[in-house]
Structure 1
């Protein structure tokens, strides 16, 4: 019959600290974190009421479990960070000064091209594209056919495309 005994924590620091520090440092490469994990092993041993047959194995099982917990936490944090970054980038164009200036110049050019359209063509185009009135409604308001409205919109689109240099 084997006798089990509680892990003796007195003098434990001197006996196990160097081995635990080396164990953690080899696996994680961070001395400060190795110190924290070593301290956590001591804390868990101190709180433990478990009777163990082989204290050395028990100590390193705690250390191994701490490393597993650490890896799990890091994976969860990494996945969360990746998710947050993906959400932040989704449907968002990153602005740089050249894009902003270029887009402002295009808008200014579009406004100039709109102003250069004949009055009736411009008004029908704006009512259709920006005010989102139907072609039927525009035709009714101007007393013209729906076909005439379509021709005015097509004319506006062609003139705007030519003015913007898009064919």
Structure 2
């Protein structure tokens, strides 16, 4: 299982409640995407963020441009959710690489943490198993939020003056 060895992050509503967070998600593979969004929104609620901005884009390829605009508009963290399922052409490789490099570039150039909730799977069954749906073994939407907010909280802690 790919989730084996994941760190135990200690986030609380106390250190996240005032963060401005956006969730941007693709529209392809609606059942998988619904699970990822639900997991992300549940994680945000658990951390005291009840009204994040939620934006839908056509597909995973469009996630980086939307994440960049959100980061530039003052969000403290952006969570990108998408899924690409391998087919019989190289399209899978191009979209996965473009989304990964694009989201990395957004985070590095803006300094805004981007939670990477993009599933890159060989089969729809693998995607469903990671989508946080009933019976899924993993909840990557929840994990993407936790990673982004833990990073935002850590960055905020080092940017505040010593007392």
Q: Please, what TM-score do these two structures have when normalized by structure 1?
A: 0.23
Whichever structure has more helix as a proportion of its residues is: 1
Higher relative contact order (CA 8 A, sep 6+): 2
Whichever structure has more strand as a proportion of its residues is: 2
Q: Please, what TM-score do these two structures have when normalized by structure 2?
A: 0.23
Whichever of the two has the greater Rg, that structure is 1
